[in-house]
Amino acid sequence: MDEVKCECGHVSPPGTVLCEACGRPLGEAAESTGVLNMRYEGVARRSQTRHGTLLDKVWNFFSSVKVAVVLIVITLVASVIGTIFPQEMYLPVPPEQAEDYYREAYGVLGELYYKLGFHRLYKSWWYVGLLLMIGASLVICSLDRVVPLYRALKNQRVKRHVDFLTRQRVAAQVPLGDRSADELLAAAERAMAKRRYHVRRDGTALLGEKGRFSRWGPYINHVGLIIFLIGVLLRLVPGFYLDEYVWVREGETKPIPGTPYYVKNEGFTVTYYDEEEFPQKIDLKGGKVVKEYRTDAVLYRRVDGGKPGAPPQLEEVARAPIRVNHPLEHDGLLLYQAGALTEFGHLTLELRHKQTGRSLGTFTVDLHDPAPLYRLPSGATVEILEYFPDFVLNENNEPATKSNVPNNPAFVFQVKTPDKPEGEKSWLFLGMTIEEPNRANDYELKFRDMTFVDVSGLMVRMDRSLPVIFFGCGVVMVGLVMGFYWQHRRIWVQVEGGVVYLAAHTNKNWFGLKKEVLAVAQEVGLPVDPGAVDQGGKRT
């Protein structure tokens, strides 16, 4: 596109609708007689004038408001679909079994849901890509519009072409009469200054302006949204966001996933209400009412850099009781009391001779970390050949375990005694022994005792992106307030050839502007018809 030269001699960039110097309509706008399009002050945007290179095509694509709306709608629809089935983090199975769970629980739709990545929606590459495209659209849309608008408003001149004035939406023409131009303009300047207009004069022309800063409200709003998006995307960066759940048994020290920290459960207690503690009589026959869950926790930090194969070297960094709604906090890391359960802890067994009942000794098996071999005082040994903490038969009717939690422990033992050095094998389920088929054992393992251990469920949270997100929301609110509660108003008073041209423009609230123009005209003494001032357009 070629540059545009106005009758006043000023050369404007390609695509300009209104002359940057005098405001005279150019091109197709000059042939029309309707109200001028004052969007971006008639200055052409980059997306309207450049189409040649690949960069121009990408810029033009993302500068389209329609494209931005479509991207936002697609993202919203995807977010809604992501709530149809639970996200992977809330499934009662490990992540590696998620695909089978969706297929078995929800059928074909569940399988499709998983394959399309909706099971981890907010971390899927295509959802993050949509957010990045929305961010790019916000940046390019804003730059494509704010730069030409800023230049036009910064360099606007006081004196304007008559066509510019008469084709404003609020416009009037009044004979000057016997008054001098200086007298009328001085009165108009006082009237506008009283209404907090910033007034400039150039010969026989006045320009009163106020509230220009409100034009930047939408763009400040865009800046806030961009900051908000950056904060959301920061959650994908390791170390910025953490949402994990850790089960820690009493006495156990366990690593916190995604961090260099370890947490130790030094003790878990549950406190119940007594009847005397209630303000009124409550029937507690149905059970006790929990007053408090409490975990005495110690937080450690690994200081050896995580050398492979080496035991961790830990340094204590915090120690505090964790109660519901009273987390342990350290350097942005929060540990909340979120659950509790009781697990099997230790199993005590006795080795006896089946016929005589003679005891060869007892031993205790740690169900969470069993020893491979137990030596008894009688000289007998008990070896664990296989251990299934959560016993189940798989699809092939073979023994397997559903998890590492001892919900249904089962063992394969080999017992060796001085008179049976070749050993005897037997299966031990919780409370029941099954001997090796087709072979009678001389010795048996008898259940003697079972201890239980309390397990504390801790919700681990860390969100370093929150300050960025809150700051972005604050910037958005500033932009909204600027855009909604103020208006950019301009009033032109210009004397040309014995005629007073009165014109005004605002970006919103035309009724308020019209009232203000009529008040200025009345104070100056210009006989303006209230019914005709909002004609706009050029009368033919």
DSSP state letters, 184-213: HHHHHHHHHHHTT-EEEEETTEEEEEE-GG
Contacts for 139 with CB less than 8 Å, ≥ 6 apart:
62, 222, 226
φ, ψ for residue 91, nearest 5 deg: -75, 150
- Among 277, 41, 72, smallest CA distance to 151 is for 41
Is pLDDT above 50 for 11?
yes
8 Å CB contact between 412 and 384: yes
> Please, which residues have CB within 8 angstroms of residue 288's CB and are 6 or more apart in sequence?
272, 273
Q: How far apart are CA 439 and CA 418, in angstroms?
A: 19
End-to-end CA distance of the chain: 32
CA angle 275, 280, 283 (to 5 degrees): 55
Q: What is the pLDDT of residues 167-186, one digit of tens each?
A: 999 999 999 888 899 999 99
Which residue bears the tokens 């137990």? 374
What is the phi/psi pair of residue 76, to 5°? Answer: -65, -45
Structural contact between residues 103 and 112, judged by C-beta atoms closer than 8 angstroms? no
Three-state SS for 287-341 is CCCEEEEEEEEEEEEECCCCCCCCCCCEEEEEEEEEECCECEEECCEEEEEEEEE
The residue behind tokens 């290179």 is 53
Q: What is the DSSP letter of 46?
A: H
The predicted structure's pLDDT at residue 230: 94
- The predicted pLDDT at position 188 comes to 94
The distance of Cα 71 from the centroid of its chain, to the nearest Å, equals 17
In one-letter notation, the amino acid at residue 139 is: V
Q: Which residues in 273-311 are b (16+ Cβ under 10 Å) and which e?
A: eeeeeeeeeeeeeeeeeeeebbbbbbbbbbeeeeeeeee
pLDDT reported for residue 539: 41
Largest CA-CA distance found in the chain, in angstroms, rounded: 137
pLDDT at 432: 60
- Identify the weakest region by mean pLDDT among 88-92, 126-130, 361-365: 88-92
Specify the pLDDT at position 437.
63
Using pLDDT thresholds of 50, 70 and 90, give the confidence band for residue 223.
very high
- Residues 6+ positions from 215 with CB-CB distance below 8 Å: 149, 153, 488, 507
Q: Structure tokens of 513? A: 């502007």
- Tokens 């559903």 sit on residue: 402
Lookup: tokens for 442: 């001389």
Q: Which amino acid is at 305?
A: G
pLDDT at 538 over 50: no
What span, in angstroms and rounded, lies between the C-alpha atoms of 426 and 351?
Answer: 12
Tokens 């026959």 belong to 285
Instruction: For tokens 């890509």, name the residue.
Output: 129
DSSP string, 416-461: EETTEEEEEEEEEETTEEEEPTT---SEEEEEEEEEEEEEEEEEEE
> What's the mean per-residue pLDDT of the chain?
87
Query: Is a pLDDT exceeding 90 seen at residue 225?
Result: yes
Give the dihedral of Cα atoms 89, 93, 97, 98; nearest 10 deg: -40
Mean pLDDT of 425-445: 74
- Both tokens of 455, joined, read 């397990």
Q: What are phi and psi of 446, to 5 degrees?
A: -110, 140
Write the Ramachandran bin of 154: left for phi over 0, alpha for psi from -120 to 50, otherwise beta.
alpha
What is the token pair recorded at 114? Answer: 């998983």
The model carries a pTM of 0.75
204/517 Cα distance (integer angstroms): 18
Cα separation, 379 vs 358, whole angstroms: 14
Residue 262 near residue 254 (C-beta atoms within 8 A) = yes
Tell me: the pLDDT tens digits for 375-424?
A: 999 899 999 999 998 888 887 888 888 888 888 899 999 999 988 888 88
Please give the DSSP secondary-structure letter assigned to residue 25.
B
Query: What whole-number percentage of the chain has pLDDT above 70?
Result: 94
pLDDT of 540 strictly over 50: no
In this predicted structure, which of 39-43, 132-136, 224-228 has the lowest mean pLDDT?
A: 39-43
CA R_g for the chain: 40
| pLDDT bucket at 277, cuts 50 / 70 / 90 | low
Residues shown for the chain: 540
Helix (H) or strand (E) holding 182: helix 181-194
pLDDT tens-digit map of 322-350: 999 999 999 999 999 998 888 899 999 99
